[in-house]
Structure 1
């Protein structure tokens, strides 16, 4: 056994498993005492296996999206994320779910105008946020006419995660938004998940998204060490979720044009859409 794997196993046994048990116990009592949280988690139950046996597409914001005709996805179940509203075809493909877990939302620095653009251009879309973002959404009177779901993500996504990832209870916090989408899609009952725009190349010095970097992204300074550490946790998260979904009979495919993500089997985008 390598030193790396031994270290990982020791961390799981001594730190993460005990921590996640503690989080689950604390969350159980928190949902009993916090009526707002309890109501939101009950609302999430309406999504459980709602799309059983269907397929869905989860779209990241990688630069490879420039090379793929997203209009071919119209009529499919689609998850979009974060700044996808900046894509000129956003309203044309009529996505089903919009997931934003960026901490800038719950710390109040995410541009409200961008959220209002989502509200205007994608009027029928369902929204997924962290529960920690709820106050920000409510305070700014956002998405009053939309179905909004909140993820109570307090646990740690570690090797051999010991609990079901049900949206009506505490789930692992995700290192990136695509992982949250995969957890959500598995809870909803989708049996096939296709990833697009998941280039996973943030650690490579080149354009990181299909759009020009926003002011918030340009102001975010990260060292290469930070980027590589993030990438390691991200790839680990993809692998753990792939193992979790495989056990549940859910297949995940990578239809991204290129990129570094090597966790899932590759498929050609043109072969799975009309």
Structure 2
């Protein structure tokens, strides 16, 4: 594995670009993600399945949940199923559980506290009870100007909490308010710096709190906010 201990090499690496974050809510399954070819994408958890379906690859991949990488039906999605050039950014606690022979450049960073926003991933990140928060903080650290959230529904319905099928679904209803608070806090911080955090999920519980834009319209836009 190409292990990099110093994530400082990623700081502002994608300055001025826009990024699409691939969360795992059911709504993402309705989108034509093949149009993401050439776009900066940050995947997480089972988003690897979407790459295979829509014939694209994520530039970055994040993972923070120990339950995911230890699950026998899911671990390969965070390891061997990824494109070897996808850069992985994982919570440091996952290092000992990770696959040891991947070609992917991989960084491990510590979790600080639950609530907040880190501008410096070298020091760590705030986990906010959702891997989406790691993706947002990574996008900020990369220097991204516009961040679009796909599939960040935050509706953990028992019959379909995520876009993919699970034998034993992991529900997060008790943390939804924490997740919303942290993502809205991130949106406010980004806005104060002239950047955007946009939800592309019409059904998301984020809809009343942060900017919404349909994915089709977002991907067609050529505006870049510096």
- Shorter-chain TM band: 0.7 to 0.9
- Alignment length (residue pairs): 217
Aligned to 2:112, what secondary structure does the other structure show? strand
Show structure 1 runs of 5+ residues with no match.
Answer: 1-38
Which residue, out of 213, 238, 245, partners 2:190?
245
Match of 2:35 among 60, 64, 72: 72
* Residues 15-67 of structure 1, C-alpha deviations (whole Å, 9 max, x = no match): xxxxxxxxxxxxxxxxxxxxxxxx72xx2000111111110000111111221
TM-score normalized by the length of structure 2: 0.85
SS of the residue corresponding to residue 57 of structure 1 reads strand
Shift of 1:70: 0.5
Are 2:193 and 1:193 aligned? no
Cα deviation code 1:152-171 (max 9, x no counterpart):
1122324xx6xx53011133
Deviation of 1:88 (Å): 6.3
- The CA deviation string for residues 244-270 of structure 1, in whole angstroms up to 9 with x for no partner, is 222232211111243322222111211
Structure 1 position 153 matched with structure 2 position 111: yes
Contact kept in structure 2, 1:130 and 1:153, CA below 8 Å: yes
Change (3 A) 1:120 1:132: same
TM-score normalized by structure 1?
0.71
Deviates more, 1:81-90 or 1:259-268: 81-90
Runs of 4+, deviation exceeding 6 Å: none
Question: Residues 5-44 of structure 1 correspond to what in structure 2 (within 5 A)?
Answer: 40=5, 43-44=6-7
Q: 2:120 aligns with which of 149, 157, 166?
A: 166
Unaligned 5+ segments in structure 2 are: 221-226
Of the two, which has the highest radius of gyration? 1
**Whole-Å Cα distance in 2 between the matches of residues 100 and 116 of structure 1?**
11
What CA deviation, in whole Å up to 9, does each residue of 1:148-204 have, x standing for no partner?
11121122324xx6xx530111332331011110011101100000011111111x4
